[in-house]
Copies of this chain bind each other. A is one copy, B any other.
Amino acid sequence: MKEIKLFAPATVANVSCGFDVLGFCLEPIGDEMIIRKTDHPGVRITKIVGQDLPLVTKENVAGVAAEALLASLDTPYGFEIEIYKNIKAGSGIGSSAASSAGAVFGINELLGRPYTRKELIQFAMKGEELASGAIHADNVSPALLGGFTLVRCNKEVDVIALPTPSELYATIIHPQIELRTADSRSVLKKNIPLSKAIEQWGNLAALVSGLYTNDYALISRSLVDVIIEPERSPLIPFFNDLKDVALKAGALGSGISGSGPSIYALSRGEETAEKVREQMEKVFQPMNIKFNTYVSKINTEGIKIIE
| Chain A residues with a Cβ closer than 8 Å to the other chain, count | 40
The answer to the question of A206 belonging to the interface, with a C-beta cut-off of 8 Å to chain B, is: yes
A148 to chain B, nearest CB (A): 10
Whether A204 lies near B204 (C-beta < 8 A) is yes
Whether B150 lies near A205 (C-beta < 8 A) is yes
For the complex, give the distance between the alpha carbons of A140 and B222 in Å.
Answer: 21
The answer to the question of A67 belonging to the interface, with a C-beta cut-off of 8 Å to chain B, is: no
Which of A17-25, A31-39, A234-242, A252-260 is found at the contact surface with chain B? A17-25
The answer to the question of A190 belonging to the interface, with a C-beta cut-off of 8 Å to chain B, is: yes
Question: Which residue in B162, B190, B191, B194 is a CB contact (below 8 Å) of A209?
Answer: B162
Copy tally for this chain in the complex stands at 2
For the complex, give the distance between the alpha carbons of A204 and B204 in Å.
Answer: 8
Residue in chain B with minimal CB distance to A203? B152
Residue in chain B with minimal CB distance to A20? B198
Whether B205 lies near A22 (C-beta < 8 A) is yes
Could you give, for residues 295-307 of chain A, a 1 whenever the CB lies within 8 Å of some chain B CB and a 0 otherwise? 0000000000000
The answer to the question of A197 belonging to the interface, with a C-beta cut-off of 8 Å to chain B, is: yes
A197 in contact with B200 given A18-B205, A192-B192, A206-B158 (CB within 8 Å): yes
For the complex, give the distance between the alpha carbons of A16 and B199 in Å.
Answer: 16
Using CB atoms and an 8 Å cutoff, list the residues of chain A in contact with chain B: 17-22, 150-153, 156, 158, 160, 162, 188-195, 197-209, 212, 218, 221-222, 227
17 contacts between A and B (CB under 8 A): A18-B205, A21-B202, A150-B202, A152-B205, A152-B206, A152-B218, A158-B221, A160-B206, A190-B193, A190-B195, A191-B191, A192-B192, A192-B194, A194-B227, A197-B201, A201-B201, A204-B204
Known A22-B205, A212-B212; further 8 A-B contacts with Cβ < 8 A = A18-B205, A20-B198, A21-B205, A191-B191, A192-B192, A197-B197, A201-B201, A209-B212
